[in-house]
Amino acid sequence: MYRCWVGVLLLWLAAGACGETLRVGFGTHKPPYVFEGEPRGLEYELVDRAARLAGFDMAAYYAPMERLHLMLRRGEIDAITTTNERSGVEAFYSDIYIHYHNAAVALAARGYRIERIADLGGYSVSAFQRARLLLGAEFQRMAEGNPRYREEALQINRNRLLYSGRVEVVIGDPRIIQHFNREVAEQVDVSQPLAWYPLFPPTAYRVGFRLEAQCQRFDQGLRQLQLRASGAYQLIERRYLSD
């Protein structure tokens, strides 16, 4: 009987040690933040570490952002990253876990004068999915009024469009665009100088959850990760942003 109870206790302890699986959507390939299909990237590691500190085992899902928002509404995933309250999707939003530094960029040879967001209305513009919602009201007005505005499901396409001259202005985080140059260097001339237009403040991103309880637990893990004394958050940042 004693051995039986010991066996039951061990099974109970083992079950308790296994975290609840949290299905998280990450979008498509966008290094150095997310390397699609690989357990690495600045954003991936921050979310994974915070989830583990909260007692979750994270299962990552990769798809275009529009698809991920649909999956969240259907309950096919539990949470979605790189979003915020402006996304247009009803969810419970975590604390801020990362900032992107989006900017407008064009080939320097074109000599454009772009001083404010409204100026983009006179150009063909390519941005990432849901940029029209995530980058503020002024950008949304420009996007809705510009018939030559488009959003890319695969962010690498913006580099191809920019360097080939098929689009005049691209919107994105410089780290992502510069990283993709390595992947398109044999397809387009990435040696062409670029002109950057810092039109946007840093974009704060949160994780959107279907369930409030999971969101609250994640925030607890995120606060532990962000404690300056631990240095864990800063270590992850340095690993991916050093280059």
pLDDT band at 240 (very low <50, low <70, confident <90, very high): confident
Residues 193 and 107 in one domain: yes
For the entire predicted model, the pTM comes to 0.87
| Mean pLDDT of the region 174-183 | 95
Which of residues 79 and 2 earns the better pLDDT score? 79
Which one, of 193, 227, 197, 221, lies nearest residue 207 by Cα? 221
What is the enclosing helix (H) or strand (E) of 66? helix 65-74
Q: Within a domain: residue 8?
A: no
Q: Is the pLDDT of residue 14 over 80?
A: no
Q: Within a domain: residue 126?
A: yes
Q: Residues near 71 by Cβ (< 8 Å), separated by ≥ 6?
A: 25, 61, 63, 77, 80
Q: Is the pLDDT of residue 48 over 50?
A: yes
User: Which pLDDT does position 166 carry in this prediction?
Assistant: 98
Q: Within a domain: residue 157?
A: yes
Q: Within a domain: residue 4?
A: no
Residues 226 and 145 in one domain: no
DSSP classification of residue 239: H
Residues 151 and 210 in one domain: no
User: Which pLDDT does position 49 carry in this prediction?
Assistant: 96
Residues 67 and 82 in one domain: yes
User: Which pLDDT does position 18 carry in this prediction?
Assistant: 54
Alpha carbons within 13 angstroms on the beta-carbon side of residue 10 total 6
Number of domain units in the chain = 2
Q: Is the pLDDT of residue 12 over 90?
A: no
Q: Which residue has the tokens 């689009």?
A: 167
Residues 131 and 57 in one domain: no
pLDDT (tens digit per residue) in 92-139: 999 999 999 999 999 999 999 999 999 999 999 999 999 999 999 999
Q: Is the pLDDT of residue 195 over 60?
A: yes
Q: Within a domain: residue 231?
A: yes
pLDDT band at 227 (very low <50, low <70, confident <90, very high): confident
Print burial letters for 192-205: b (CB count within 10 Å at least 16), e (below 16): eebbebebbeebeb
What three-state secondary structure class fits 46?
helix
Domain limit, last residue, from 197, 212, 229: 197
What three-state secondary structure class fits 139?
helix
User: Which pLDDT does position 16 carry in this prediction?
Assistant: 41
Q: What is the CATH number for 68?
A: 3.40.190.10
Over pLDDT 90: what percentage of the chain?
84
pLDDT (tens digit per residue) in 126-140: 999 999 999 999 999
User: Whole-angstrom Cα distance, residue 97 to residue 137?
Assistant: 22
Q: Within a domain: residue 211?
A: yes
Domain that holds residue 189: 102-197
Which one, of 203, 197, 199, 172, lies nearest residue 117 by Cα? 199
Q: Is the pLDDT of residue 242 over 80?
A: no
User: Which pLDDT does position 88 carry in this prediction?
Assistant: 83
Lowest mean pLDDT among 2-11, 81-90, 169-178: 2-11
Residues 213 and 173 in one domain: no
Q: Let me know how long the chain is.
A: 243
